[in-house]
Amino acid sequence: MKIKETPLKDCYIIEPTVFEDDRGYFFEKFNEQKFEELTGMNGHFVQDNISKSSYGVLRGLHLQKGEHAQAKLVSCLEGKVWDVAVDLREDSLTFGQWFGIELTEENKLQLYIPRGFGHGFSVLSENAVFAYKCDNFYNKESEGSIKFNDPDLQIDWKIDEKEAVLSDKDQNAPSFKEKNF
C-alpha cells in the first residue's frame, strides 16, 4: 500500500499493491495498521456503505456534523467516478479548498477523507458502484450539506451541470457561506 498526500491537509490517496496474473488479481484493500503507520491517522472503521448510480448522478456535498462527524475511505468498485473532498475545518490552512480525483475499478485508488470535510462524487461511466468505509455511525440529525455548484467553491464535477441528476436534498442544499457544517 502506498499513501500519497493531496493538497488538502490530512486527506490521502491510497494506492494498493496489486498482484495480477492470468487468473485475475489480488490486493489488500485496506490495512489499519499500515494506514496508521504511514499517516499517523486513526484508521478504525465501523460502517460500510455501497451505492449504485448511473451516469450523471451527482451525490454531494455531504457531511456529518459534531460528535457524529465521519472520516471516510472511499473507492469505486465498478465504473468510474469523479470524487471530491472539501476541507470545512475553519482552523485548517486549506479551509474552503477542494480536491478531486478519478476513482475507477481499473485504478483501484481510494481516497481517505478526514472528519470535518464535505464529500461528493459524480458518475462518469454508464453505471458505478461506490464504496464508503466510515469511522463513525450515520446520524440523520447530524447531516449537513453544501450546494454542489456553490460559486465560492467552483468545483469542477467533470459533467455538464445540465446533465447532473440530483436528489431534492442536494438540489436544495445551502450555500458554503451559510455554513451548514
- Point out the residues that are catalytic: 62, 132
Contact 51, 107 (CB under 8 A): no
Contact 4, 12 (CB under 8 A): yes
Length of the chain: 181
DSSP assignment, residue 125?
S
Q: How many CB atoms sit inside 10 A of residue 124's CB?
A: 19
DSSP assignment, residue 82?
E
Contact 75, 103 (CB under 8 A): yes
Look at the alpha carbons of 134, 173, 51, 8 in this order and tell me if their dihedral is positive or negative: negative
Q: What does the alpha-carbon distance between residue 79 and residue 76 come to, in Å, rounded to a whole number?
A: 7
Contact 107, 13 (CB under 8 A): no
Q: What nine digits make up the cell of 157? A: 464535477
